[in-house]
Amino acid sequence: MAAQTVASTTESTVDLGPAAALSCRECGHRVPLGPVFACEECFGPLEIAYDFSAYDAEELRKRIEAGPANIWRYAPLLPVPADVADKPNLNPGWTKLVKADHLANELGVDAGKLFVKDDSGNPTHSFKDRVVAQALEAARAFGFTTLSCSSTGNLAGAVGAAAARAGFRSCVFIPHDLEQGKVVMAAIYGGELVGIEGNYDDVNRFCSELIGDPAGEGWGFVNVNLRPYYAEGSKTLAYEICEQLGWQLPDQLVVPIASGSQLTKIDKGLQELIKLGLVEDKPYKIFGAQAEGCSPVSTAFKAGHDVVRPQKPNTIAKSLAIGNPADGPYVLDIARRTGGFVEDVTDEQVVDAIKILARTEGIFAETAGGVTVGVTKKLIENGVLDPTRTTVVLNTGDGLKTLDAVAGTGLTATIRPNLDSFREAGLA
Amino acid sequence: MAAQTVASTTESTVDLGPAAALSCRECGHRVPLGPVFACEECFGPLEIAYDFSAYDAEELRKRIEAGPANIWRYAPLLPVPADVADKPNLNPGWTKLVKADHLANELGVDAGKLFVKDDSGNPTHSFKDRVVAQALEAARAFGFTTLSCSSTGNLAGAVGAAAARAGFRSCVFIPHDLEQGKVVMAAIYGGELVGIEGNYDDVNRFCSELIGDPAGEGWGFVNVNLRPYYAEGSKTLAYEICEQLGWQLPDQLVVPIASGSQLTKIDKGLQELIKLGLVEDKPYKIFGAQAEGCSPVSTAFKAGHDVVRPQKPNTIAKSLAIGNPADGPYVLDIARRTGGFVEDVTDEQVVDAIKILARTEGIFAETAGGVTVGVTKKLIENGVLDPTRTTVVLNTGDGLKTLDAVAGTGLTATIRPNLDSFREAGLA
């Protein structure tokens, strides 16, 4: 009887496919699916609990392979309705997994063993399209009509674009003094773009206030009240990497750390594939990558701490500049459990790594991609990452969005328009 | 005997798949495959002649559908070796065909009938990746070791990136006084980036001189001596559109005009699909789109002329700003033969159209995309384009590359970080 009562109170009435309930990551308390993000018992973070019990591995694999060339091929594993691919959304994902033999050669990795998962190919050119697409479907299911977020960059554009495609109103909050280029990238989609007189912390505080106020009714804040759904989008990176490797786990992954959510969800995705029998169970190592100017997690990892001490960010890798990462402790757990490591690189190394990746593979990465490639290089040099094993490095954004970081790059020669001048420059 | 002799002199020794020879578009004279672009008999443009005689429609369709999610699924129809997908290249294409119901509603097109082919999803975010990928494979086949071009924008980045991935040296020539942002986008890939003291015409003249000089030996200029191969890349837009429509021809296409090559090759691609039996033969109309500030083809079309009078370009749509378009007369032929039209829009209409597309579909287009969407709007308003028929509009580039064009776009409100200020701004 008691068990039945519990089942009844955790029953969800919205259709989000295999998502059965929300479950607290700390105490396991379950509540029905809804726009909530903190456990009512212990204030721990809520995440999606799934019912995958009906799946047969072979049937599921075939169903996925016959699906569309975007994240909705994994709809059976995501908190979305079965007909999600028919609804208007940006359909991100299924980005390229690039076999990076020239980069491997440069870094001393065995040929055929190094891959770059290039998420700059998403609709608004960052991995944020994956998480926003999940939040949008949750917003639809809960009857929200406005999509919102606080942001200083990639997320603002991803939310504006997704809302436009889906026919939602959007209202994005940013610090009022952002660079003009970033404002244009966010404003072009025609939603409300509100500058807050204050810094990013002020913007966040205001958003929390708005959620609790009647004025925020009907608003889905992708990274606040829709966060449990939003965060699941990062699982699709794990699914795609394994499917693109021929349904195999990589031996090593190098993942950037901002809040740490992406890394924890990639681990969750890999564990799901193992449990579902879609990949063979074998050890893998997850390595976290930070910029030295915002390295609270790598600092804690190296010091052997379980808690992460907040840091005031000062780095060109602005999309990773979260000084108090919510999922920091979970990242430490995962890196230690899998035998990985958390490392950081200087801004100079970030810029060098951006150039190395562009020169060797023709991929122009955002600063976050410079962080992962730079950390990969450092981990190999230090003997921490095994250059003989299959390794996947994430590039989560596009270099066109952080042109300032490499502004010094320029002409290799200037000549007059004739062959003599060409020869004098030593170009022949 | 005479026929045998001709056959012998036109035999090609390189393996470029179904490509059998080069053939003059004016006089039909055939020569073996090689790095040449003008007919030795009449100076007409050379293009690829194929041998598709062995293909069975059903088998070919299945082979394509089982192929990779990039242009190499169409390798049987392109001048590339059969194993092209195994070689290191950027693998562009298979970009999204977006069912644009919100845009349709805005422009007065029937629901479900309007599509945007969004080529901003290519590796360097413009359709140029398609044509450069073809030129690269030709360069490989001819034993070239340097990939080169003259450029003022998208092409420079596409060549630099493709050369980096493939392990080629690259040497790109640009006017020395380009905007710093464009220089960075081209320089990041680490090839030679040479500024020429002069304007774009000087750059082009110098490149022609270099091709004829021993200093240019071993150099593949993608848009000069490799142009016949390069141009074929645009056929893949036609193939993808038809396959993504379920192997059907669209009724109407709106295509931007720079040199006019893209439009003529899209027509060629559609004709090939009809002849191969991959789509049902039915009429289609091709509409050309120009900016008013560079509208030599639309001017000639409207005046009923067969020749195109050169114009000095003055428009924000710089990627279309070719005042003396080489394929202009062919474009006029195709627009007239298919019952289409060539139209132009003002720079103000270009900016409006960029905003309409972003607001309705979450697609941030380059100015060239503003030209096609703007022309589509104008053609519907003028009763020239039928809003009840299936219509595909091309977006060939990414708005991040032409931020200046929409620099006026900004915050919709600025508030203090509290709910009273939020309510005063009328945002609740």
Task: Give per-residue pLDDT as tens, A7-21.
Answer: 334 556 899 999 999
Task: Report the alpha-carbon angle A379-A384-A386, nearest 5.
Answer: 95
Which residues neighbour A306 within 8 Å (Cβ) at sequence distance 6 or greater?
A300, A329, A332
pLDDT exceeds 90 at position B12:
no
- Looking at residue A11, what is its pLDDT? 57
Mean pLDDT of B142-147: 96
Find the distance separating the first CA and the last CA of chain A, reported in whole Å. 85
Work out the angle at residue B79's Cα, subtended by the Cα atoms of residues B78 and B84, and round it to the nearest 5 degrees.
80
- C-alpha to C-alpha distance for A257 and B80, rounded to whole angstroms: 41
Cβ–Cβ < 8 Å for B232, B48: yes
Tokens representing residue B71 in the block:
């242009």
pLDDT over threshold 60, residue A3: no
Domains by residue range for chain B, with CATH = 2-50 (no CATH), 97-125+234-406 (3.40.50.1100), 128-230 (3.40.50.1100)
**Chain A: residue whose CA lies nearest to B87:** A99
Smallest Cα distance from A281 to chain B, Å: 28
* Residue B26 or residue A201, greater confidence: B26
Tell the residue number behind the tokens 């088998």, with chain if given: B59
Tokens, residue B22: 């080069």
In angstroms, the CA B407 to CA B301 distance is 33
Q: In a 3-state reduction of DSSP, which class is residue B292?
A: coil
CA–CA separation, B25 and B50 (whole Å):
14
Q: What is the mean pLDDT of residues B90-118?
A: 98
According to DSSP, the β-strands at A252-256 and A391-395 are parallel
Nearest one of A149, A132, A91 to A229, comparing CA atoms? A132
Comparing alpha-carbon positions, the chain B residue that sits nearest to A353 is B188
Q: What is the mean pLDDT of residues A99-115?
A: 98
Average pLDDT, rounded, for chain B: 94
Sequence-distant (6+) residues with CB within 8 A of A12 are: A19, A20, A21, A32, A33, A34
Task: Name the H helices within A128-234.
Answer: 128-141, 154-166, 180-187, 200-211, 227-232
**Residue A376, min C-alpha distance to chain B (Å):** 19
CA distance A276 to A278: 6
Secondary structure element (H or E) that encloses residue B163, with its range: helix B154-166
CA B10/CA B77 separation, integer angstroms: 20
**CA nearest to B164 within chain A:** A362
A253 — pLDDT class (breaks 50, 70, 90): very high
Average pLDDT taken over every residue of chain A: 94
Of A86 and A201, more confident? A86
Measured distance CA(A399)–CA(B246) in Å, rounded: 35
| Least Cα separation, residue A88 to chain B (angstroms) | 8
Instruction: Report the pLDDT averaged over residues A382-394.
Output: 98
Q: What are phi and psi of B423, to 5 degrees?
A: -70, -40
Q: Count other C-beta atoms under 10 Å from residue A50's C-beta.
A: 19
In this prediction, residue B153 has a pLDDT band, given cuts at 50, 70 and 90, of confident
Q: What is the mean pLDDT of residues A239-251?
A: 98
Q: What is the pLDDT of residue A117?
A: 98
Q: How far apart are CA B339 and CA B334, in angstroms?
A: 8
Predicted local confidence at residue B6, as pLDDT: 37
Q: What is the pLDDT of residue B408?
A: 85
How many CB atoms within 10 Å of residue B346?
Answer: 15
For residue B191, what is the nearest residue in chain A, using CA coordinates?
A: A359
Mean pLDDT (whole number) for A57-67: 97
What residues have CB less than 8 Å from B165, skipping those under 6 apart?
A: A102, A361, A362, B88, B89, B90
The answer on pLDDT for A4 being more than 70 is: no
CA distance A3 to chain B (A): 43
- pLDDT value for B4: 36
- Percent of chain B at pLDDT > 90 equals 89
pLDDT of residue B11: 57
Determine how β-strand B342-345 pairs with β-strand B285-291.
parallel
b/e map A93-112, b = 16+ CB within 10 Å? bbbbbbbbbbbbebbebeee
Considering only CB atoms, A165 lies closest to which of B163, B206, B361, namely B361
CB-CB neighbors (< 8 A) of B414 in chain A: 176, 194-197
Which of B148, B161, B133, B160 has the alpha carbon at shortest distance from B217? B148
Give the per-residue pLDDT at A12. 64
Exposed, middle or buried, B159 (CB in 10 Å: 0-12/13-18/19+)? buried
Evaluate if residue B3 carries a pLDDT over 90. Answer: no
User: Would the CB atoms of A198 and B417 count as touching at under 8 Å?
Assistant: yes
With an 8 Å Cβ cutoff, are B102 and A415 in contact?
A: no
Residue B183 has pLDDT above 80, yes or no: yes
| Model pLDDT for residues B334-344, shown as the tens digit of each residue | 999 999 999 99
Task: DSSP for B123-161, please give it.
Answer: TTSBTHHHHHHHHHHHHHHTT--EEEEE-SSHHHHHHHH
Least Cα distance to B45 among B264, B326, B331, B332 occurs for B326
